[in-house]
Amino acid sequence: MHVDIVPVGDLPAAVKREASSGLRSVYDCEVTIHDNQPVPEGAYDSGREQYRAEEFIELAGRVGSGEKNIAITANDLYYRRRNYVFGLAYLSGNGSVISTYRLQTSSDGGFSERSATDIFADRVRKEVVHEIGHTLGLEHCDNSRCVMNFSPTVREVDVKEENLCGSCQRLVL
Ligand SMILES: [Zn+2]
Ligand SMILES: [Zn+2]
């Protein structure tokens, strides 16, 4: 499998590096980094001061050169009635997106002595692995340690691991 990462707007090199490394380690796939893309026109909702996640998925699917493509943005995303999303993908689609905007909030888990930089890097890795999992057909998993667990807050992101649980692995790997 080939996954193309599509950075949208300004994105630190470290984010691209962590995303790429996370995907390669879990899916053993080829990963490329696309040229930076401008934020899609019309994605901004001035009433909410947030960006529509769907527009980024569409962009990733359109410009990405992979079998699966993931947009990564530092902008704050929302989807339908949810206040925000860390990421979004359609089941078995070829485009997906994550936002780093809300992954930078300090850890509230308190179970780790690790630096904020390391915690942030782990969240980025987990979120890209999670969204690409959806594009491979995986739905949310009840196992709180599994990367496919639904994690609406960073606390739940921090609890889960970067890997797919055994049952999810058997479905896609
Ligand atoms: Zn999900
Ligand atoms: Zn699982």
What ranges do the domains of the chain cover? 2-172
* Residue 96: φ, ψ to 5°: -160, 175
Q: Give 93-108 pLDDT, tens digit per residue.
A: 999 999 999 998 765 5
Options 131, 156, 161, 162, the catalytic residue: 131
pLDDT of residue 18: 98
What counts of helices (H) and strands (E) characterise the chain? Answer: 5, 9
Amino acid at 128: V
User: CA quadruple 80, 84, 90, 96: dihedral positive or negative?
Assistant: positive
Q: Are 1 and 106 in contact (CB under 8 A)?
A: no
CA distances from 4 to 47, 59, 118, 162 (A): 32, 12, 24, 19
pLDDT of residue 115: 84
What architecture is domain 2-172? Answer: 3-Layer(aba) Sandwich (3.40)
d(CA 9, CA 36): 6
Q: Is 141 annotated as a binding residue?
A: yes
pLDDT of residue 71: 98
pLDDT of residue 173: 80
Q: Is 2 annotated as a binding residue?
A: no
Distance in Å, CA 70 to ligand 1 centroid: 14
pTM of the model: 0.95
Q: Are 162 and 129 in contact (CB under 8 A)?
A: yes
d(CA 124, CA 16): 9
pLDDT of residue 105: 77
Q: Which residues of the chain have pLDDT under 50?
A: none
d(CA 127, CA 44): 22
